[in-house]
Amino acid sequence: MDYQEALSWIHSIGRFGMNQGLVRIEKLLHELGDPHKKLKFLHIGGTNGKGSTAAFAASVLEASGYRVGLYTSPYLEQFTNRMSINGMDIPRERLVELVNRVRPLVEKIAADPALGQPTEFEVVTALALTYFGEESPDIVVLEVGLGGRLDATNVVRPLVTAISTISLEHTQVLGNTIKDIAREKAGIIKEESAVVTQAKGDALSVLEDTCRRKNVPLFSLGEDFSAEKTAGNLNGQFFNYRGLTHTLFDLQISLLGDYQINNAALALAALELLIREGFKIPEEAIRNGLADTRWPGRLEIMRRSPLVVIDGAHNEEAFLSLRSALADTFSYRHLILVLGILSDKALEDILSIIVPLADALVITKPNSPRAADPEDLQKIACKMAKGPVFVEDNIPDAINLAISMARSPDLVLVAGSLYVIGDARLFLKRKSASLPFIQHIG
The amino acid that residue 322 corresponds to is L
CA distance 50 to 267: 9
Residue 402 has pLDDT above 50, yes or no: yes
Q: Do 384 and 262 fall into the same domain?
A: no
Q: Do 269 and 151 fall into the same domain?
A: yes
Find out whether 302 and 309 touch, Cβ atoms under 8 Å: yes
Q: Do 214 and 347 fall into the same domain?
A: no
pLDDT tens per residue, range 279-303: 999 999 999 999 999 999 999 999 9
pLDDT tens per residue, range 164-208: 999 887 767 788 799 999 999 999 999 999 999 999 999 999 999
pLDDT tens per residue, range 68-126: 999 999 888 899 999 999 999 999 999 999 999 999 999 999 999 999 999 999 999 99
Q: Do 305 and 275 fall into the same domain?
A: no
Which residues touch 6 (CB under 8 Å, ≥6 apart)? 95, 96, 99, 100
Find out whether 152 and 121 touch, Cβ atoms under 8 Å: yes
* pTM of the predicted protein model: 0.94
**166: CATH:** 3.40.1190.10
Q: Do 115 and 186 fall into the same domain?
A: yes
Q: Count structural domains, the chain.
A: 2
**378: CATH:** 3.90.190.20
Q: Do 307 and 330 fall into the same domain?
A: yes
Q: Do 189 and 307 fall into the same domain?
A: no
DSSP 331: -
Q: Do 38 and 120 fall into the same domain?
A: yes
Q: Do 238 and 102 fall into the same domain?
A: yes
The per-residue pLDDT for 440 is: 35
Q: Do 237 and 106 fall into the same domain?
A: yes
C-alpha of 439 from chain center: 28
Q: Do 156 and 284 fall into the same domain?
A: yes
CA distance 368 to 75: 13
Among 268, 292, 316, where does a domain finish? Answer: 292
Among 292, 315, 341, where does a domain finish? Answer: 292
Q: Give the structural domain span for 248.
A: 3-292
Among 292, 308, 326, where does a domain finish? Answer: 292
Q: Do 269 and 306 fall into the same domain?
A: no
CA distance 385 to 369: 27
